[in-house]
């Protein structure tokens, strides 16, 4: 937008965008769940034994929290790359 042409700035912006997208998806999970939709990676959910139904029913058990933690950790990794 500001006309900066630098490969390092592009790389940092890419990681910031990925982190922001992940966080936005996590923050919207309760909203989407009330509409019977889940947009979280099912491979991570299955790793923890969590189904889409668990999110739709609003369960807050440890395995559901572990899914959220793992996904949030991916956003954190992208921010670490930026730093």
Q: What is the pLDDT of residues 21-61, one digit of tens each?
A: 999 999 999 999 999 999 999 999 999 999 999 999 999 99
pLDDT value, residue 6: 80
Residue located via tokens 């940092």: 12
Residue 61's φ and ψ, nearest 5 degrees, are: -75, 170
- In this prediction, residue 5 carries a pLDDT of 78
- Residue 23's pLDDT is what? 97
Q: Is the pLDDT of residue 64 over 70?
A: yes
pLDDT exceeds 80 at position 1: no
Q: Say how many C-beta atoms besides its own lie within 10 A of residue 2's C-beta.
A: 4
Q: Is the dihedral of CA 27, 31, 32, 36 positive or negative?
A: positive
How confident is the model at residue 51, as a pLDDT?
96
């Amino acid at each position: 937008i500001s006309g900066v042409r630098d490969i390092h700035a592009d790389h940092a912006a890419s990681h910031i965008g990925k982190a922001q997208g992940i966080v936005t998806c996590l923050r919207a999970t309760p909203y989407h769940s009330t509409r019977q939709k889940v947009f979280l990676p099912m491979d991570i959910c299955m790793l923890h034994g969590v189904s889409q139904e668990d999110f739709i029913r609003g369960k807050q058990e440890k395995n559901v929290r572990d899914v959220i933690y793992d996904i949030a950790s991916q956003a954190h990794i992208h921010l670490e790359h930026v730093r």
